[in-house]
Amino acid sequence: MLWLLFALLFVLWLLGYGLQLAGGIIHLLLAAALIVLVLNLVRQLTAES
C-alpha cells in the first residue's frame, strides 16, 4: 500500500515538474513521497528482525 502511494506521489511530482505546474506543491509532493518511502523501508526492516 505504501509503495503504491509512493509511486503515485512520485509520478504526480514528475508530471508537475515536467509541465511546470503548481511550483511549491511539486516539492511538497516529492517530500511526501520520500517520507512514505522512508517509513516503508523502516517498517520492513523492523518486521524482518
Tens digit of each residue's pLDDT (9 = 90 or more) over 3-49 = 787 788 778 777 776 676 666 676 777 788 888 888 888 988 888 76
For 15, the domain range is 2-44
Residue 8 half-sphere exposure, CB side, CA atoms within 13 Å?
6
Number of structural domains (the chain) is 1
- What is the pLDDT at residue 22? 64
Give the pLDDT confidence score for residue 21 in this predicted structure.
64
The predicted structure's pLDDT at residue 17: 66
Q: According to the model, what pLDDT value does residue 30 have?
A: 76
Q: Is residue 9 part of a domain?
A: yes
Quick one: pLDDT at residue 6? 78
Express the helix, strand and coil content of the chain in percent, nearest 5 each. Answer: 90, 0, 10
Residue 35 lies in a domain: yes
**Residue 49: inside a domain, yes or no?**
no
